[in-house]
Structure 1
Amino acid sequence: MQEELKILFSRLLLFVIFLLVIPGLSYGIWWIKQNKEFGIILLDKTVPNTLYSEHRGLFWIFEHEKFVKPKTQEFYDLELDYFGFFPTTDVDNEVSIKDFSIMDSFEKSSLVSSNEVLIIADTYGVYRHDDSANGNSQLANQKLYGGLDASDLEIISLAQEMGKTIISEYNSIASPTPVPIRSQFENQMGVKWTGWVARYFDELDTLANSGLPSWLVTTYKSQHQEDWSFKGPGLVFVHESGRIEIFDSRSDYQNQVPLIRTPRQNKAGFILPEVVPYPDWFDIVLIQRDYEVISYYDIKPTDEGLERLRGMGLPRFFPAVVFRPNQTGRIYYLSGDFSDLKLNFGSPRFWGLATLWRGFYSVTDYRDRQSFFWNYYEPLMNQILNQAYMAQKEKN
């Protein structure tokens, strides 16, 4: 009986240690770690609701790494500390916007000079979904707000001139950004959009996949004058002109899901998984020679697929994450909708939590966005931000 009690007590003790002591120790280590004063400007024009899905993951990283606002020493607030569109719960549904367009030149210069990083998370915008539009897509999706504008370009120019770190992510320059504004952005950043975006679908059969966009099927049939006969996995390429091309995983390419590859010995020294599957939207860009590639997309096209890519004006590999120096800062471009995460990450106030979650989520599980966040996006942004923070400390 005494032996059984000892065994029970030892198991109970282990349970208490696991449940209380380890989390308490993790929280304690996070708490005693020094705050990092680090000025961050974040632009997010795609905030249709209070999920804040386009910057939620970023703010989790900010707090987990203990980045605080320089003047107040406060942590960044997910709901307040960004520029762009602010969702409202008012019955009148009045639009709430706080962006750079309301600032004069002095205010813009002061804003940029007092911060170290500019993040352009998403500029696609917010649209009014009108149920009374009777199927008219133009009426049903009226833009309330979105797209880069001249005031955004002015902030980007100031950040470049002052040697700040700039991080831009898909969708920063595609629709609804006007072409003249996009051209200026491309010239400033040294990144040119090919006009193509792409996405993987597990199932292209319309009978088996009700989530396949109806406009995709209708437009393809109209353009190609043929039935939609695709089945199984495939890649959808959509051009800004409206052109649609479908790559079949059995004949056009060999990697079922597009892979993000990161060379182990990359010049930038980033520590990331060598191969990560990525199934969501990404834009295909061309970069100037002074850019260094951290990661790239590989679909492993067949000979037929490679010929099709060439006919579309596309290369064999597509940049995924690239950067180039900007005085003491860096300019990054992320060619993927990486930050779009409608997830509850739990409290960021536990040291080592990101490492723990990486152990729970398989890097090959492309269907779970948690896996992509913990295995690729979190360590990527963690290293980018901490590199910028250390550069700031050395400069000061």
Structure 2
Amino acid sequence: MKRVAWIASSMVILIGVGLFVLHLKWENKSITVRNIYILDKTVFNSKYLEHKSFFWVLSNLHYQKPDGNPYRYDKDYFGFYPIDTELGTFDFRTIRLVEIDRMADSLDMLYYIDCYGVYSEDWMSSKNSALGQKVYGGLNQNDYLLLKGMKERGKLIIAEHNLFSHLGGGLEKEKLSELFGFTWTGWIGRSFPSFDTTKSNRPPAWVVNIYTTTQNKTWPNSEGGIVFVGDRDRVVLLINGHELEDSKVSIISPPSTVTHFGVKSKVSFTKWFEVIEAGPGLSTFSNFMLHLTPEGSSLLRNNGIPESFPAALGCSSGYQLYYFAGDFSHTPVYMATSEMVGGDLLNSAISLTLRPLGFEFFNGYYRPFLSKILSSYKAPNSSVDSLPPTN
């Protein structure tokens, strides 16, 4: 027994020393200084799962704010700040009109992670508010003007879904379509392993209500599949084994994207996505693909929904834009691994053991894609891009 205990203790010490060495190597990496505006209006609780993965990437790349401090996922963003879900108390941080030009001049880049907002059924655990009542959220005029100012200055813009759908509120989609050159079709969707409303990972109640009310049908309470919602008054269901050969939604990338961004050619995506159409001048890096039966193809065609549509697109002509047509930042990460060389491998190892939903997407697509964008970006008129390590 003593020998077993000694071996176990030695292994723990070796692992601890190894992790410490990896952290020291990370400390000795050069520091990149960037002034980044991060917006997330959809933060349901103090876990900050909606944007933590972006901060993981910033930390792993050793990014710091202009004041020399690291970016913190619980403080360094604009948007919704939860305080107490029982009491329904919260705070928010927003940009004022008089600040827009000054911030557009001083910022290096911005990332609009989620503009959808927080609704009563998601936020207040007491459930006292009416279903569907918005607590906070939606893209507003100041958010739009900052985007416009950043584009005019040639700064890096990264944004995700719910930027301009009316589900997220805010400006008419035509204004943003004109600004960025792509169009939202009015459809969003998501795959669900089960349509059983008693399960935890189920379609939200508002989807079920729309389906049963507008189509006068009974909700299929067992089979899983994909839900499409159009302008929040139409619901199309693709059921596994009927309209779908497989309920998974895949992101497919061509060899050029795989080589340039270091992503896998095919990954599964489990969060909300939207159906967009790319205009001229935009490059589509990856596409969403559904595993349809002939019946599924016919159902989508009858509802004007394409079988494949952009998942990630971008533009580098005069300004730099990357748009992710899905909830890409809402993926599982372990922040402790971000401050280590090889932290991506450690994060993958932990994820493989615990298997949280969406970990394959972060490891195989989001992290390498975003890391490539950030590492390749040269901020216009930036006075300092990188510094030697602090120790």
Give the counterpart of 2:376 among 387, 391, 395: 387
> How many residues are paired up?
382
Distance 1:32 1:304, change over 3 A: same
Residue 69 of structure 1: aligned partner: 65
Deviations 1:58-97 (A, max 9, x none): 1121111111112x12111222221122223599865522
Residue 22 of structure 1: aligned partner: 18
Instruction: Write out aligned runs for 1:12-161 (5 A).
Output: 15=11, 18-70=14-66, 72-89=67-84, 95-100=90-95, 102-104=96-98, 107-129=99-121, 139-161=130-152
8 Å contact kept, 2:283–2:315: yes
Distance 1:326 1:17, change over 3 A: farther
Deviations 1:223-253 (A, max 9, x none): 3333334642311111114111111222323
8 Å contact kept, 2:85–2:125: no
Distance 1:211 1:267, change over 3 A: closer
8 Å contact kept, 1:160–1:326: no
Residue 246 of structure 1: aligned partner: 237
Displacement of 1:98 in angstroms is: 1.9
Residue 371 of structure 1: aligned partner: 360
Question: Normalized against structure 2, the TM-score is what?
Answer: 0.85
SS at match of 1:357: helix
Deviations 1:132-168 (A, max 9, x none): 877xx7x244323210111111100011001111111
Distance 1:393 1:268, change over 3 A: farther
Greater Rg over alpha carbons, structure: 1
Residue 163 of structure 1: aligned partner: 154
Instruction: Write out aligned runs for 1:174-323 (5 A).
Output: 174-178=165-169, 180-205=171-196, 211-229=202-220, 231-266=222-257, 269-323=260-314
Displacement of 1:258 in angstroms is: 0.9
When structure 1 is superposed on structure 2, of 111-120 and 204-213 the one drifting more is 204-213
Distance 1:177 1:14, change over 3 A: closer
Residue 341 of structure 2: aligned partner: 351
Displacement of 1:326 in angstroms is: 4.2
SS at match of 1:255: strand
Residues in 2 aligned to 1:366 and 1:131: alpha-carbon distance in whole angstroms: 27
**Residue ranges of structure 1 left out of the alignment (5+ in a row):** none
8 Å contact kept, 1:45–1:122: yes
SS at match of 1:36: strand
Residues in 1 aligned to 2:87 and 2:257: alpha-carbon distance in whole angstroms: 52
Distance 1:73 1:179, change over 3 A: closer
Displacement of 1:271 in angstroms is: 1.1
8 Å contact kept, 1:52–1:78: yes
Residue 388 of structure 2: aligned partner: none
SS at match of 1:346: helix
Equivalent residue letter for 1:121: I
Displacement of 1:350 in angstroms is: 0.8
Residues in 1 aligned to 2:93 and 2:141: alpha-carbon distance in whole angstroms: 15
Residues in 2 aligned to 1:217 and 1:319: alpha-carbon distance in whole angstroms: 27
Provide the aligned C-alpha RMSD in A: 3.4
Distance 1:392 1:278, change over 3 A: farther
Residues in 1 aligned to 2:71 and 2:137: alpha-carbon distance in whole angstroms: 23
Distance 1:310 1:394, change over 3 A: farther
Displacement of 1:295 in angstroms is: 1.4
**Residue ranges of structure 2 left out of the alignment (5+ in a row):** 386-391
Displacement of 1:346 in angstroms is: 2.5
Residues in 1 aligned to 2:226 and 2:313: alpha-carbon distance in whole angstroms: 23
